[in-house]
Amino acid sequence: MTLRLGYGTNGLTDLRLDDALGLLADLGYDGVGLTLDHMHLDPLAPDLATHTRKVARRLAGLGLGVTVETGARYVLDPRRKHGPSLLDPDPEARAARTALLVTAVEVAADLGAHAVHCFSGITPPGTTTDTAWQRLTGALEPVLDASDRAGVPLAVEPEPGHLLGTLAGFHHLRTLLGDPGSLGLTLDIGHCQCLEPASPADCVKEAAPWLRHVQIEDMRRGVHEHLPFGDGEIDFPPVLHALDHSGYTGLTVVELPRHSHAGPELARESIDFLRRATGTTNGAAPC
């Protein structure tokens, strides 16, 4: 198989970024899902450009590809998880999230990233569905313009419990925005197992034309909990086969954001599991 495997830094928050990148390179990963956050590459730091150049040199030196992820829990508001969102009732709060995503696009371009990931957010209480979609499209338009200028696609993730929570929701967003070329999809394999009507492998096949980023972990039906491989219900060989034949050439990033306490060991176990599931060992060709 030709899949390019990565690991998310949101599962390595107990490590310095330089150490995390070195670990992933040593384990044989092809790249990293880099979450912009205060402990790694802070998108609000006054010297962001200097730090970005340093990270770009480190990635190049290690031969790692990168996707920029924007799911940091408290990067904008130290008291509200993922707040403010693109759906916030306050226009200035929505604008703050939009500005963060525009910054993420600029960082991604400087790093040579293949995509920028984001999600919609949860619909605020008292907000109608139509209003929520209007807020989302309005907040995303400047980000998509920035993505188009930078040549880095925006990959929106269907997130359980969010306004845009399913593949159907992604297609609704595409329609509302007029199907812009800079808009793509982040497909989380665990989320497919959690709530999509189709199997994860069939979700990959359905989503293939829009895939710009892939996250992967184990999960159980109806329970949104990211699990190490083997702790959930997903049959991975068909999923990985579908990805390999989808035409997707970006990173497939292990997403274990609540397991940082065991990050180095899980990074090793994860790549070993995926190599076994793809029929490869130590990065060798399929058996």
The residue among 225, 229, 278 whose CA lies nearest residue 254 is 229
Predicted confidence (pLDDT) at residue 285 exceeds the cutoff of 50: no
Predicted confidence (pLDDT) at residue 161 exceeds the cutoff of 80: yes
Predicted confidence (pLDDT) at residue 80 exceeds the cutoff of 70: yes
The residue among 100, 211, 107 whose CA lies nearest residue 157 is 211
Predicted confidence (pLDDT) at residue 65 exceeds the cutoff of 90: yes
pLDDT digits (tens, 9 = 90+) for 7-41: 999 999 999 999 999 999 999 999 999 999 999 99
Angstrom distance (rounded) from CA 23 to CA 169: 36
Most confidently predicted of 6-15, 256-265, 272-281: 6-15
pLDDT digits (tens, 9 = 90+) for 124-158: 999 999 999 999 999 999 999 999 999 999 999 99
For residue 2, name the pLDDT band (cuts at 50, 70, 90).
Answer: confident
CB 141, CB 96: distance < 8 Å: no
For residue 281, name the pLDDT band (cuts at 50, 70, 90).
Answer: low
